[in-house]
Structure 1
Protein backbone atom coordinates (compact mmCIF):
# COMPACT_ATOMS: atom_id res chain seq x y z
CA UNK A 1 0.00 0.00 0.00
CA UNK A 2 1.28 3.46 -0.90
CA UNK A 3 0.73 6.06 1.81
CA UNK A 4 -0.70 9.46 0.94
CA UNK A 5 1.86 12.16 0.27
CA UNK A 6 2.57 14.69 3.00
CA UNK A 7 3.69 17.25 0.43
CA UNK A 8 4.04 17.60 -3.33
CA UNK A 9 5.48 20.36 -5.40
CA UNK A 10 8.37 21.53 -7.50
CA UNK A 11 11.70 23.12 -6.73
CA UNK A 12 13.53 25.42 -9.15
CA UNK A 13 16.49 23.91 -10.96
CA UNK A 14 18.07 26.70 -12.97
CA UNK A 15 15.49 27.65 -15.59
CA UNK A 16 13.63 24.40 -14.98
CA UNK A 17 11.63 22.62 -12.28
CA UNK A 18 12.04 19.30 -10.49
CA UNK A 19 8.84 17.66 -9.25
CA UNK A 20 8.96 15.93 -5.84
CA UNK A 21 6.72 14.04 -3.45
CA UNK A 22 7.33 13.69 0.31
CA UNK A 23 5.73 11.02 2.48
CA UNK A 24 6.28 11.46 6.21
CA UNK A 25 7.87 14.23 8.26
CA UNK A 26 11.19 15.59 7.01
CA UNK A 27 11.72 17.14 10.45
CA UNK A 28 10.88 13.98 12.37
CA UNK A 29 14.43 13.18 13.46
CA UNK A 30 15.36 10.38 11.07
CA UNK A 31 17.20 10.86 7.78
CA UNK A 32 15.09 11.17 4.66
CA UNK A 33 15.17 8.27 2.19
CA UNK A 34 15.58 9.86 -1.24
CA UNK A 35 14.54 7.58 -4.11
CA UNK A 36 16.26 7.86 -7.51
CA UNK A 37 14.33 6.22 -10.34
CA UNK A 38 15.75 4.38 -13.32
CA UNK A 39 15.88 5.00 -17.02
CA UNK A 40 17.36 7.48 -17.56
CA UNK A 41 14.05 8.91 -18.61
CA UNK A 42 11.63 6.94 -16.47
CA UNK A 43 9.61 8.36 -13.56
CA UNK A 44 9.04 7.75 -9.85
CA UNK A 45 5.70 5.95 -10.39
CA UNK A 46 6.99 2.35 -10.36
CA UNK A 47 8.74 3.03 -7.05
CA UNK A 48 5.81 4.62 -5.20
CA UNK A 49 5.27 1.64 -2.89
CA UNK A 50 8.55 2.58 -1.16
CA UNK A 51 6.57 5.41 0.43
CA UNK A 52 5.33 2.74 2.85
CA UNK A 53 8.70 2.90 4.63
CA UNK A 54 7.60 6.25 6.02
CA UNK A 55 5.21 4.30 8.23
CA UNK A 56 8.28 2.92 10.00
CA UNK A 57 9.62 6.38 10.72
CA UNK A 58 11.77 7.29 7.71
CA UNK A 59 10.38 10.11 5.55
CA UNK A 60 10.53 9.18 1.87
CA UNK A 61 11.24 11.59 -0.98
CA UNK A 62 10.38 10.61 -4.55
CA UNK A 63 11.14 12.87 -7.48
CA UNK A 64 10.97 12.86 -11.27
CA UNK A 65 14.29 13.61 -12.89
CA UNK A 66 14.26 16.48 -15.35
CA UNK A 67 12.88 15.57 -18.75
CA UNK A 68 10.07 13.33 -17.54
CA UNK A 69 7.01 13.00 -15.35
CA UNK A 70 6.06 16.10 -13.41
CA UNK A 71 9.41 17.82 -14.00
CA UNK A 72 10.26 20.10 -16.91
CA UNK A 73 10.18 18.35 -20.30
CA UNK A 74 12.70 19.48 -22.91
CA UNK A 75 12.10 17.39 -26.04
CA UNK A 76 13.90 19.82 -28.31
CA UNK A 77 17.20 19.91 -26.43
CA UNK A 78 20.44 18.88 -28.07
CA UNK A 79 21.61 15.39 -26.98
CA UNK A 80 24.66 16.99 -25.37
CA UNK A 81 22.38 18.59 -22.77
CA UNK A 82 21.56 15.23 -21.22
CA UNK A 83 24.61 14.31 -19.13
CA UNK A 84 25.32 12.50 -15.87
CA UNK A 85 26.54 15.84 -14.48
CA UNK A 86 23.12 17.39 -15.19
CA UNK A 87 21.38 14.76 -13.05
CA UNK A 88 24.00 14.95 -10.30
CA UNK A 89 23.46 18.70 -10.12
CA UNK A 90 19.71 18.19 -10.04
CA UNK A 91 20.00 15.76 -7.13
CA UNK A 92 22.28 18.11 -5.16
CA UNK A 93 19.88 20.97 -5.82
CA UNK A 94 16.88 18.95 -4.61
CA UNK A 95 18.67 18.03 -1.37
CA UNK A 96 19.46 21.69 -0.71
CA UNK A 97 16.01 22.97 -1.67
CA UNK A 98 14.32 20.49 0.68
CA UNK A 99 16.87 21.27 3.41
CA UNK A 100 17.88 17.63 3.87
CA UNK A 101 21.45 17.76 2.53
CA UNK A 102 22.81 17.30 6.04
CA UNK A 103 20.92 14.06 6.81
CA UNK A 104 19.71 11.64 4.11
CA UNK A 105 19.94 8.14 2.66
CA UNK A 106 19.88 7.42 -1.08
CA UNK A 107 18.06 4.51 -2.71
CA UNK A 108 18.90 4.34 -6.38
CA UNK A 109 17.20 1.83 -8.64
CA UNK A 110 18.81 0.74 -11.93
CA UNK A 111 20.23 3.90 -13.57
CA UNK A 112 19.27 5.69 -10.34
CA UNK A 113 21.82 3.51 -8.53
CA UNK A 114 24.55 4.48 -10.99
CA UNK A 115 23.69 8.11 -10.29
CA UNK A 116 23.57 7.52 -6.53
CA UNK A 117 26.99 5.82 -6.58
CA UNK A 118 28.50 8.76 -8.47
CA UNK A 119 27.03 11.13 -5.88
CA UNK A 120 28.18 8.99 -2.95
CA UNK A 121 31.74 8.82 -4.31
CA UNK A 122 32.14 12.52 -3.52
CA UNK A 123 31.69 11.56 0.18
CA UNK A 124 29.00 14.14 1.01
CA UNK A 125 28.93 14.78 4.74
CA UNK A 126 25.16 14.36 5.09
CA UNK A 127 24.91 10.98 3.37
CA UNK A 128 24.15 8.35 6.02
CA UNK A 129 23.68 5.30 3.79
CA UNK A 130 23.40 4.11 0.21
CA UNK A 131 21.11 1.47 -1.33
CA UNK A 132 22.04 0.30 -4.83
CA UNK A 133 19.09 -1.65 -6.16
CA UNK A 134 19.42 -3.58 -9.43
CA UNK A 135 22.15 -1.28 -10.75
CA UNK A 136 25.11 -2.07 -13.02
CA UNK A 137 28.54 -0.82 -11.99
CA UNK A 138 29.70 -0.67 -15.60
CA UNK A 139 27.66 -0.39 -18.78
CA UNK A 140 30.32 -2.09 -20.97
CA UNK A 141 30.46 -5.01 -18.52
CA UNK A 142 26.67 -5.12 -18.32
CA UNK A 143 26.27 -5.19 -22.10
CA UNK A 144 28.40 -8.34 -22.25
CA UNK A 145 26.16 -9.91 -19.62
CA UNK A 146 23.05 -8.85 -21.55
CA UNK A 147 24.40 -10.63 -24.62
CA UNK A 148 24.46 -13.82 -22.56
CA UNK A 149 20.86 -13.33 -21.41
CA UNK A 150 19.77 -12.59 -24.96
CA UNK A 151 21.38 -15.80 -26.21
CA UNK A 152 19.22 -17.79 -23.76
CA UNK A 153 15.91 -16.41 -25.04
CA UNK A 154 13.55 -18.77 -26.93
CA UNK A 155 14.66 -19.66 -30.46
CA UNK A 156 14.36 -16.80 -32.93
CA UNK A 157 13.73 -14.01 -30.38
CA UNK A 158 17.25 -12.59 -30.26
CA UNK A 159 17.55 -13.00 -34.02
CA UNK A 160 14.44 -10.86 -34.43
CA UNK A 161 15.77 -8.26 -32.01
CA UNK A 162 19.13 -8.00 -33.73
CA UNK A 163 17.60 -7.82 -37.20
CA UNK A 164 15.57 -4.78 -36.22
CA UNK A 165 18.45 -3.22 -34.29
CA UNK A 166 20.70 -3.54 -37.35
CA UNK A 167 18.02 -2.13 -39.65
CA UNK A 168 17.07 0.74 -37.33
CA UNK A 169 13.47 -0.47 -37.14
CA UNK A 170 13.23 -0.76 -33.37
CA UNK A 171 9.95 1.16 -33.48
CA UNK A 172 8.23 -1.79 -35.18
CA UNK A 173 5.56 -3.95 -33.54
CA UNK A 174 7.65 -7.08 -34.14
CA UNK A 175 10.57 -5.60 -32.21
CA UNK A 176 8.25 -4.54 -29.37
CA UNK A 177 6.84 -8.07 -29.10
CA UNK A 178 10.33 -9.58 -28.95
CA UNK A 179 11.35 -7.01 -26.31
CA UNK A 180 8.44 -8.15 -24.15
CA UNK A 181 9.80 -11.70 -24.14
CA UNK A 182 13.03 -10.44 -22.58
CA UNK A 183 11.23 -8.09 -20.19
CA UNK A 184 8.88 -10.82 -18.93
CA UNK A 185 11.94 -12.84 -17.90
CA UNK A 186 14.37 -10.20 -16.68
CA UNK A 187 12.54 -6.92 -16.02
CA UNK A 188 9.32 -7.86 -14.23
CA UNK A 189 8.09 -11.44 -13.86
CA UNK A 190 4.64 -10.49 -12.56
CA UNK A 191 1.68 -11.03 -14.89
CA UNK A 192 -0.01 -8.70 -15.46
CA UNK A 193 2.40 -5.89 -14.71
CA UNK A 194 1.41 -3.73 -11.74
CA UNK A 195 -0.33 -0.46 -12.50
CA UNK A 196 2.57 1.64 -11.18
CA UNK A 197 5.01 -0.19 -13.48
CA UNK A 198 2.79 0.52 -16.47
CA UNK A 199 2.48 4.17 -15.44
CA UNK A 200 6.23 4.69 -15.71
CA UNK A 201 6.34 2.87 -19.05
CA UNK A 202 3.60 5.12 -20.42
CA UNK A 203 5.56 8.18 -19.28
CA UNK A 204 8.65 7.01 -21.18
CA UNK A 205 6.50 6.31 -24.24
CA UNK A 206 4.95 9.78 -24.08
CA UNK A 207 8.36 11.49 -23.97
CA UNK A 208 11.29 9.18 -24.78
CA UNK A 209 13.79 12.03 -25.24
CA UNK A 210 16.04 11.19 -22.29
CA UNK A 211 15.71 7.41 -22.57
CA UNK A 212 16.53 7.31 -26.28
CA UNK A 213 19.41 9.79 -25.92
CA UNK A 214 21.18 8.24 -22.94
CA UNK A 215 20.08 4.58 -23.10
CA UNK A 216 18.57 3.46 -26.40
CA UNK A 217 15.43 1.75 -27.73
CA UNK A 218 15.36 -0.94 -25.01
CA UNK A 219 17.01 -1.77 -21.71
CA UNK A 220 19.32 -4.31 -23.34
CA UNK A 221 20.25 -2.39 -26.51
CA UNK A 222 22.21 0.47 -24.99
CA UNK A 223 23.47 2.64 -27.82
CA UNK A 224 23.05 6.01 -26.12
CA UNK A 225 25.56 8.18 -24.30
CA UNK A 226 25.76 5.83 -21.30
CA UNK A 227 27.07 2.88 -23.33
CA UNK A 228 30.67 3.46 -22.16
CA UNK A 229 29.84 4.70 -18.65
CA UNK A 230 31.29 3.00 -15.58
CA UNK A 231 31.49 3.83 -11.88
CA UNK A 232 33.91 1.01 -11.05
CA UNK A 233 36.81 3.37 -10.46
CA UNK A 234 34.59 5.49 -8.17
CA UNK A 235 33.54 2.64 -5.88
CA UNK A 236 36.53 2.79 -3.48
CA UNK A 237 35.66 6.44 -2.77
CA UNK A 238 32.19 5.56 -1.42
CA UNK A 239 32.44 5.87 2.37
CA UNK A 240 28.77 5.42 3.29
CA UNK A 241 27.47 2.02 4.43
CA UNK A 242 26.00 0.42 1.32
CA UNK A 243 23.35 -2.20 0.65
CA UNK A 244 23.57 -3.88 -2.78
CA UNK A 245 20.38 -5.53 -4.05
CA UNK A 246 19.54 -7.56 -7.14
CA UNK A 247 17.14 -10.28 -8.27
CA UNK A 248 18.11 -13.82 -9.17
CA UNK A 249 16.55 -13.35 -12.64
CA UNK A 250 17.62 -9.72 -12.98
CA UNK A 251 18.68 -8.14 -16.26
CA UNK A 252 21.44 -6.66 -14.08
CA UNK A 253 23.33 -9.88 -13.43
CA UNK A 254 25.49 -10.93 -10.49
CA UNK A 255 28.65 -10.08 -12.41
CA UNK A 256 27.26 -6.61 -13.14
CA UNK A 257 26.85 -5.73 -9.44
CA UNK A 258 29.95 -7.53 -8.16
CA UNK A 259 32.26 -4.48 -8.41
CA UNK A 260 30.02 -2.63 -5.94
CA UNK A 261 30.32 -5.49 -3.44
CA UNK A 262 34.06 -5.97 -3.90
CA UNK A 263 35.20 -2.34 -4.12
CA UNK A 264 32.93 -0.29 -1.84
CA UNK A 265 34.51 -0.62 1.63
CA UNK A 266 31.33 -1.18 3.70
CA UNK A 267 28.75 -3.29 1.82
CA UNK A 268 25.95 -5.74 2.52
CA UNK A 269 24.47 -7.96 -0.18
CA UNK A 270 20.93 -9.23 -0.73
CA UNK A 271 19.70 -11.38 -3.61
CA UNK A 272 15.94 -11.77 -4.13
CA UNK A 273 15.45 -15.32 -5.36
CA UNK A 274 11.96 -14.85 -6.85
CA UNK A 275 12.64 -11.53 -8.54
CA UNK A 276 14.07 -10.02 -11.67
CA UNK A 277 14.67 -6.25 -11.95
CA UNK A 278 11.97 -4.92 -9.61
CA UNK A 279 12.06 -6.91 -6.35
CA UNK A 280 10.24 -4.09 -4.57
CA UNK A 281 7.22 -5.12 -6.68
CA UNK A 282 7.93 -8.84 -7.10
CA UNK A 283 8.77 -9.53 -3.41
CA UNK A 284 7.46 -6.40 -1.67
CA UNK A 285 7.29 -7.75 1.88
CA UNK A 286 10.84 -9.08 1.89
CA UNK A 287 12.12 -5.96 0.14
CA UNK A 288 10.56 -3.81 2.85
CA UNK A 289 12.09 -6.04 5.54
CA UNK A 290 15.57 -5.88 4.04
CA UNK A 291 15.55 -2.14 3.45
CA UNK A 292 14.05 -1.40 6.88
CA UNK A 293 16.70 -3.58 8.51
CA UNK A 294 19.45 -1.68 6.71
CA UNK A 295 17.96 1.68 7.72
CA UNK A 296 17.75 0.57 11.35
CA UNK A 297 21.41 -0.44 11.25
CA UNK A 298 22.37 3.10 10.27
CA UNK A 299 20.85 4.49 13.45
Structure 2
Protein backbone atom coordinates (compact mmCIF):
# COMPACT_ATOMS: atom_id res chain seq x y z
CA UNK A 1 0.00 0.00 0.00
CA UNK A 2 1.11 3.54 -0.67
CA UNK A 3 2.37 5.66 2.17
CA UNK A 4 3.13 9.35 2.53
CA UNK A 5 6.29 9.76 4.53
CA UNK A 6 9.22 12.17 4.50
CA UNK A 7 12.22 11.14 2.44
CA UNK A 8 15.27 9.92 4.32
CA UNK A 9 17.29 12.43 2.29
CA UNK A 10 16.42 15.42 0.11
CA UNK A 11 19.28 16.34 -2.20
CA UNK A 12 19.72 19.28 -4.56
CA UNK A 13 21.59 18.59 -7.80
CA UNK A 14 22.81 21.08 -10.39
CA UNK A 15 21.77 20.26 -13.95
CA UNK A 16 23.15 22.71 -16.53
CA UNK A 17 22.88 25.62 -14.12
CA UNK A 18 19.46 24.67 -12.78
CA UNK A 19 18.46 23.05 -9.46
CA UNK A 20 16.83 19.63 -9.48
CA UNK A 21 15.63 18.07 -6.21
CA UNK A 22 15.91 14.33 -5.52
CA UNK A 23 14.33 12.24 -2.75
CA UNK A 24 15.89 9.06 -1.33
CA UNK A 25 14.37 6.29 0.80
CA UNK A 26 16.16 3.33 2.32
CA UNK A 27 19.75 2.23 2.00
CA UNK A 28 19.72 -1.07 0.15
CA UNK A 29 22.42 -2.15 -2.29
CA UNK A 30 19.86 -2.28 -5.11
CA UNK A 31 18.40 1.05 -6.24
CA UNK A 32 15.00 1.51 -7.82
CA UNK A 33 15.24 4.78 -9.75
CA UNK A 34 11.84 6.33 -10.50
CA UNK A 35 10.92 8.43 -13.54
CA UNK A 36 7.41 9.79 -13.13
CA UNK A 37 4.86 10.79 -15.71
CA UNK A 38 3.91 14.21 -16.95
CA UNK A 39 5.86 16.02 -18.27
CA UNK A 40 5.73 18.86 -15.78
CA UNK A 41 4.27 16.72 -13.00
CA UNK A 42 5.94 16.58 -9.55
CA UNK A 43 7.03 13.11 -8.47
CA UNK A 44 4.82 12.83 -5.34
CA UNK A 45 2.37 10.32 -6.82
CA UNK A 46 5.01 7.84 -8.02
CA UNK A 47 7.43 8.38 -5.12
CA UNK A 48 4.82 7.75 -2.42
CA UNK A 49 3.45 4.69 -4.22
CA UNK A 50 6.91 3.08 -4.29
CA UNK A 51 8.58 4.19 -1.06
CA UNK A 52 7.37 0.87 0.45
CA UNK A 53 10.23 -0.81 -1.41
CA UNK A 54 12.61 0.62 1.19
CA UNK A 55 10.96 -1.74 3.70
CA UNK A 56 12.07 -4.64 1.48
CA UNK A 57 15.74 -3.68 1.41
CA UNK A 58 15.79 -1.45 -1.68
CA UNK A 59 17.00 2.10 -2.03
CA UNK A 60 14.30 4.17 -3.74
CA UNK A 61 15.23 7.39 -5.54
CA UNK A 62 12.87 9.84 -7.23
CA UNK A 63 13.31 13.42 -8.37
CA UNK A 64 11.25 16.37 -9.49
CA UNK A 65 12.18 16.77 -13.13
CA UNK A 66 13.25 20.24 -14.21
CA UNK A 67 10.20 22.45 -14.50
CA UNK A 68 8.15 20.99 -11.67
CA UNK A 69 7.85 20.38 -7.94
CA UNK A 70 10.69 21.67 -5.80
CA UNK A 71 13.04 21.84 -8.79
CA UNK A 72 13.62 25.03 -10.73
CA UNK A 73 10.96 26.14 -13.20
CA UNK A 74 12.79 28.06 -15.92
CA UNK A 75 10.74 29.77 -18.60
CA UNK A 76 12.64 28.50 -21.64
CA UNK A 77 10.72 26.38 -24.17
CA UNK A 78 13.99 25.02 -25.58
CA UNK A 79 14.42 22.98 -22.37
CA UNK A 80 11.34 20.86 -22.98
CA UNK A 81 12.79 18.00 -25.04
CA UNK A 82 13.22 14.32 -24.31
CA UNK A 83 16.91 14.46 -25.29
CA UNK A 84 17.62 17.07 -22.60
CA UNK A 85 15.68 15.08 -20.01
CA UNK A 86 17.76 11.96 -20.82
CA UNK A 87 20.90 13.93 -19.95
CA UNK A 88 19.18 15.15 -16.77
CA UNK A 89 18.46 11.55 -15.68
CA UNK A 90 22.10 10.60 -16.18
CA UNK A 91 23.27 13.70 -14.30
CA UNK A 92 21.09 12.78 -11.31
CA UNK A 93 22.18 9.11 -11.38
CA UNK A 94 25.89 9.94 -11.45
CA UNK A 95 25.63 12.82 -8.95
CA UNK A 96 24.02 10.48 -6.42
CA UNK A 97 26.45 7.64 -7.17
CA UNK A 98 23.64 5.17 -7.81
CA UNK A 99 25.61 2.77 -10.00
CA UNK A 100 23.51 0.31 -12.00
CA UNK A 101 19.82 0.74 -11.24
CA UNK A 102 16.42 -0.82 -11.67
CA UNK A 103 14.94 1.97 -13.80
CA UNK A 104 11.19 2.38 -13.40
CA UNK A 105 9.37 4.73 -15.76
CA UNK A 106 5.65 5.46 -15.59
CA UNK A 107 3.70 6.98 -18.52
CA UNK A 108 5.88 9.80 -19.94
CA UNK A 109 8.58 8.51 -17.60
CA UNK A 110 8.47 5.27 -19.60
CA UNK A 111 9.26 7.08 -22.85
CA UNK A 112 12.10 8.79 -21.03
CA UNK A 113 13.27 5.45 -19.59
CA UNK A 114 13.34 3.87 -23.06
CA UNK A 115 15.45 6.66 -24.53
CA UNK A 116 17.71 6.55 -21.45
CA UNK A 117 18.13 2.77 -21.75
CA UNK A 118 19.15 3.16 -25.39
CA UNK A 119 21.67 5.89 -24.53
CA UNK A 120 23.09 4.38 -21.30
CA UNK A 121 22.52 0.60 -21.36
CA UNK A 122 25.43 0.00 -18.99
CA UNK A 123 23.56 1.92 -16.26
CA UNK A 124 20.69 -0.57 -15.97
CA UNK A 125 20.09 -3.80 -14.08
CA UNK A 126 16.47 -3.96 -15.21
CA UNK A 127 13.92 -1.79 -16.98
CA UNK A 128 10.37 -1.47 -15.63
CA UNK A 129 7.94 0.13 -18.08
CA UNK A 130 4.67 1.04 -16.41
CA UNK A 131 1.51 2.14 -18.22
CA UNK A 132 3.54 3.42 -21.13
CA UNK A 133 4.30 2.93 -24.83
CA UNK A 134 7.17 2.91 -27.28
CA UNK A 135 5.17 4.15 -30.29
CA UNK A 136 3.18 7.35 -29.84
CA UNK A 137 1.48 7.35 -33.26
CA UNK A 138 0.16 3.87 -32.39
CA UNK A 139 -0.84 5.14 -28.95
CA UNK A 140 -2.76 8.02 -30.52
CA UNK A 141 -4.71 5.53 -32.64
CA UNK A 142 -5.58 3.70 -29.42
CA UNK A 143 -6.62 6.99 -27.83
CA UNK A 144 -9.01 7.62 -30.73
CA UNK A 145 -10.51 4.18 -30.12
CA UNK A 146 -11.11 5.06 -26.46
CA UNK A 147 -12.58 8.42 -27.42
CA UNK A 148 -14.90 6.74 -29.93
CA UNK A 149 -16.57 4.87 -27.06
CA UNK A 150 -18.06 8.20 -25.97
CA UNK A 151 -20.26 8.14 -29.08
CA UNK A 152 -20.16 9.92 -32.47
CA UNK A 153 -21.73 13.18 -31.30
CA UNK A 154 -19.22 13.55 -28.46
CA UNK A 155 -16.33 12.72 -30.79
CA UNK A 156 -17.57 15.35 -33.24
CA UNK A 157 -17.70 17.87 -30.39
CA UNK A 158 -14.15 16.98 -29.27
CA UNK A 159 -12.79 17.40 -32.79
CA UNK A 160 -14.55 20.75 -33.24
CA UNK A 161 -13.03 22.16 -30.05
CA UNK A 162 -9.62 20.77 -30.93
CA UNK A 163 -9.83 22.39 -34.35
CA UNK A 164 -10.36 25.87 -32.91
CA UNK A 165 -8.21 25.32 -29.80
CA UNK A 166 -11.04 25.80 -27.29
CA UNK A 167 -9.73 23.13 -24.91
CA UNK A 168 -11.15 24.93 -21.86
CA UNK A 169 -14.76 24.83 -23.05
CA UNK A 170 -16.96 23.19 -20.38
CA UNK A 171 -18.38 20.51 -22.69
CA UNK A 172 -14.89 19.58 -23.90
CA UNK A 173 -13.58 19.44 -20.35
CA UNK A 174 -16.57 17.31 -19.27
CA UNK A 175 -15.72 14.68 -21.90
CA UNK A 176 -12.04 14.67 -20.91
CA UNK A 177 -13.02 14.28 -17.24
CA UNK A 178 -15.11 11.25 -18.12
CA UNK A 179 -12.18 9.75 -20.04
CA UNK A 180 -9.88 10.44 -17.08
CA UNK A 181 -12.16 8.53 -14.70
CA UNK A 182 -12.41 5.64 -17.15
CA UNK A 183 -8.78 5.39 -18.21
CA UNK A 184 -6.47 7.35 -15.84
CA UNK A 185 -7.73 6.42 -12.37
CA UNK A 186 -10.98 4.54 -11.75
CA UNK A 187 -11.07 5.19 -8.01
CA UNK A 188 -13.98 7.29 -6.73
CA UNK A 189 -11.60 9.33 -4.56
CA UNK A 190 -8.16 9.86 -6.02
CA UNK A 191 -5.26 9.31 -3.55
CA UNK A 192 -3.68 12.29 -1.83
CA UNK A 193 -0.22 11.88 -3.45
CA UNK A 194 -1.81 11.82 -6.91
CA UNK A 195 -3.80 14.96 -6.15
CA UNK A 196 -0.67 16.65 -4.76
CA UNK A 197 1.08 16.07 -8.08
CA UNK A 198 -1.91 17.09 -10.21
CA UNK A 199 -2.52 20.27 -8.22
CA UNK A 200 1.06 21.42 -8.82
CA UNK A 201 1.28 20.52 -12.52
CA UNK A 202 3.37 22.86 -14.68
CA UNK A 203 1.54 22.75 -17.98
CA UNK A 204 4.30 24.48 -19.98
CA UNK A 205 6.48 21.38 -20.57
CA UNK A 206 3.36 19.20 -20.86
CA UNK A 207 1.83 21.35 -23.57
CA UNK A 208 5.14 21.68 -25.41
CA UNK A 209 5.89 17.95 -25.41
CA UNK A 210 2.51 16.20 -25.30
CA UNK A 211 -0.55 18.43 -25.62
CA UNK A 212 -3.45 19.97 -23.67
CA UNK A 213 -4.68 16.73 -22.06
CA UNK A 214 -4.10 12.98 -21.79
CA UNK A 215 -6.09 12.18 -24.93
CA UNK A 216 -4.56 14.56 -27.49
CA UNK A 217 -0.93 14.36 -28.61
CA UNK A 218 0.14 17.44 -30.58
CA UNK A 219 3.46 18.35 -28.90
CA UNK A 220 7.04 17.69 -29.99
CA UNK A 221 6.78 14.00 -28.99
CA UNK A 222 3.77 13.19 -31.19
CA UNK A 223 5.90 11.31 -33.76
CA UNK A 224 8.21 9.61 -31.20
CA UNK A 225 8.59 5.88 -31.94
CA UNK A 226 11.31 3.59 -30.58
CA UNK A 227 9.76 0.24 -31.51
CA UNK A 228 12.51 -0.60 -34.01
CA UNK A 229 15.19 0.12 -31.37
CA UNK A 230 13.78 -1.93 -28.50
CA UNK A 231 15.75 -5.03 -29.51
CA UNK A 232 18.89 -3.16 -28.41
CA UNK A 233 17.69 -3.17 -24.78
CA UNK A 234 19.13 -6.43 -23.49
CA UNK A 235 18.38 -6.18 -19.77
CA UNK A 236 15.36 -7.92 -18.21
CA UNK A 237 12.18 -5.85 -18.55
CA UNK A 238 8.83 -5.81 -16.80
CA UNK A 239 5.88 -4.15 -18.53
CA UNK A 240 2.82 -3.33 -16.41
CA UNK A 241 -0.53 -2.13 -17.73
CA UNK A 242 -4.10 -1.75 -16.54
CA UNK A 243 -6.87 -3.52 -18.42
CA UNK A 244 -8.63 -0.14 -18.79
CA UNK A 245 -5.43 1.91 -19.23
CA UNK A 246 -5.34 5.02 -21.40
CA UNK A 247 -2.01 3.60 -22.67
CA UNK A 248 -3.63 0.34 -23.60
CA UNK A 249 -2.64 -3.34 -23.37
CA UNK A 250 -2.08 -3.18 -27.15
CA UNK A 251 0.76 -0.73 -26.47
CA UNK A 252 2.20 -3.10 -23.85
CA UNK A 253 2.02 -6.01 -26.29
CA UNK A 254 3.88 -4.04 -28.97
CA UNK A 255 6.72 -3.39 -26.50
CA UNK A 256 6.83 -7.02 -25.33
CA UNK A 257 7.08 -8.29 -28.90
CA UNK A 258 10.17 -6.17 -29.51
CA UNK A 259 12.06 -6.40 -26.20
CA UNK A 260 14.36 -9.45 -25.93
CA UNK A 261 13.72 -10.15 -22.23
CA UNK A 262 10.28 -8.80 -21.40
CA UNK A 263 7.36 -10.02 -19.33
CA UNK A 264 3.95 -8.35 -19.00
CA UNK A 265 1.61 -7.97 -16.05
CA UNK A 266 -1.96 -6.89 -16.85
CA UNK A 267 -4.04 -5.68 -13.90
CA UNK A 268 -7.70 -6.43 -14.66
CA UNK A 269 -9.30 -3.82 -12.41
CA UNK A 270 -6.94 -0.95 -13.13
CA UNK A 271 -6.52 1.86 -15.59
CA UNK A 272 -3.38 4.05 -15.57
CA UNK A 273 -2.52 3.71 -11.85
CA UNK A 274 -2.38 0.01 -10.84
CA UNK A 275 -0.16 0.89 -7.86
CA UNK A 276 -3.19 2.75 -6.40
CA UNK A 277 -6.06 0.83 -7.99
CA UNK A 278 -4.78 -2.70 -7.17
CA UNK A 279 -1.91 -2.11 -4.73
CA UNK A 280 -1.63 -5.60 -3.26
CA UNK A 281 -1.42 -7.32 -6.65
CA UNK A 282 0.83 -4.62 -8.06
CA UNK A 283 3.26 -4.62 -5.13
CA UNK A 284 3.56 -8.41 -5.19
CA UNK A 285 4.27 -8.46 -8.94
CA UNK A 286 6.89 -5.74 -8.72
CA UNK A 287 8.62 -7.36 -5.74
CA UNK A 288 8.70 -10.73 -7.50
CA UNK A 289 10.36 -9.21 -10.57
CA UNK A 290 12.89 -7.21 -8.57
CA UNK A 291 13.66 -10.23 -6.41
CA UNK A 292 14.59 -12.30 -9.47
CA UNK A 293 17.14 -9.71 -10.55
CA UNK A 294 18.48 -8.49 -7.25
CA UNK A 295 22.20 -8.10 -6.56
CA UNK A 296 25.05 -8.28 -9.02
CA UNK A 297 27.60 -5.61 -9.79
CA UNK A 298 26.52 -2.18 -8.52
Q: Residues 252 and 264 of structure 2 are in contact (CA less than 8 Å); yes or no, is this contact kept in structure 1?
A: no
SS state of the match for residue 67, structure 1?
A: coil
Give CA-to-partner distance per residue, 1:22-55, whole Å, 9 cap, x none: 0101xx32x2101101111212111122111110
Unaligned runs of at least 5 residues, structure 2: none
Asked whether 1:243 is paired with 2:207, we answer no
Asked whether 1:192 is paired with 2:194, we answer no
User: RMSD of the TM alignment (CA)?
Assistant: 1.4
Give CA-to-partner distance per residue, 1:207-252, whole Å, 9 cap, x none: 3110011011111111111110111122011011000010000011
Q: Residues 4 and 193 of structure 2 are in contact (CA less than 8 Å); yes or no, is this contact kept in structure 1?
A: no
- Using the alignment, how far apart are the partners of 1:111 and 1:132 within structure 2? 10
Map of 2:38 onto structure 1: 39
- Using the alignment, how far apart are the partners of 2:150 and 2:65 within structure 1? 32
Could you tell me which of 113, 116, 126 is aligned with 1:116? 113
Map of 2:66 onto structure 1: 66
With normalisation by structure 2, the TM-score equals: 0.94
Comparing 151-160 with 59-68, which one deviates more in the overlay?
A: 151-160
- Using the alignment, how far apart are the partners of 1:252 and 1:290 within structure 2? 19
Q: Following TM superposition, by how much is the alpha carbon of 1:123 offset from its aligned partner in structure 2, in angstroms?
A: 4.9
- Using the alignment, how far apart are the partners of 1:270 and 1:77 within structure 2? 39
Q: Following TM superposition, by how much is the alpha carbon of 1:66 offset from its aligned partner in structure 2, in angstroms?
A: 0.6
Give CA-to-partner distance per residue, 1:161-200, whole Å, 9 cap, x none: 2221112110233322221000010000001211111111
Q: Following TM superposition, by how much is the alpha carbon of 1:3 offset from its aligned partner in structure 2, in angstroms?
A: 4.2
- Using the alignment, how far apart are the partners of 2:265 and 2:232 within structure 1? 22
- Using the alignment, how far apart are the partners of 1:150 and 1:69 within structure 2? 31
SS state of the match for residue 190, structure 2?
A: coil
- Using the alignment, how far apart are the partners of 1:230 and 1:126 within structure 2? 22
- Using the alignment, how far apart are the partners of 2:81 and 2:251 within structure 1? 22
With normalisation by structure 1, the TM-score equals: 0.94
Q: Following TM superposition, by how much is the alpha carbon of 1:126 offset from its aligned partner in structure 2, in angstroms?
A: 3.2
- Using the alignment, how far apart are the partners of 1:233 and 1:41 within structure 2? 28
Asked whether 1:227 is paired with 2:222, we answer yes
Unaligned runs of at least 5 residues, structure 1: none
Write the mapping of 1:218-297 to structure 2, written as runs, cut at 5 A: 218-297=213-292
**Runs (4+) off by over 4 Å:** none
SS state of the match for residue 252, structure 2?
A: helix
Q: Following TM superposition, by how much is the alpha carbon of 1:111 offset from its aligned partner in structure 2, in angstroms?
A: 0.8
- Using the alignment, how far apart are the partners of 2:151 and 2:19 within structure 1? 44
Q: Residues 130 and 240 of structure 2 are in contact (CA less than 8 Å); yes or no, is this contact kept in structure 1?
A: yes
Q: Residues 247 and 278 of structure 1 are in contact (CA less than 8 Å); yes or no, is this contact kept in structure 2?
A: yes
Could you tell me which of 192, 201, 208 is aligned with 2:198? 201
Give the number of aligned pairs.
291
Q: Residues 127 and 238 of structure 2 are in contact (CA less than 8 Å); yes or no, is this contact kept in structure 1?
A: yes
Map of 1:99 onto structure 2: 97
Q: Residues 121 and 239 of structure 1 are in contact (CA less than 8 Å); yes or no, is this contact kept in structure 2?
A: no
- Using the alignment, how far apart are the partners of 1:157 and 1:199 within structure 2? 30
Map of 1:157 onto structure 2: 154
Comparing 45-54 with 148-157, which one deviates more in the overlay?
A: 148-157
Map of 1:23 onto structure 2: 25
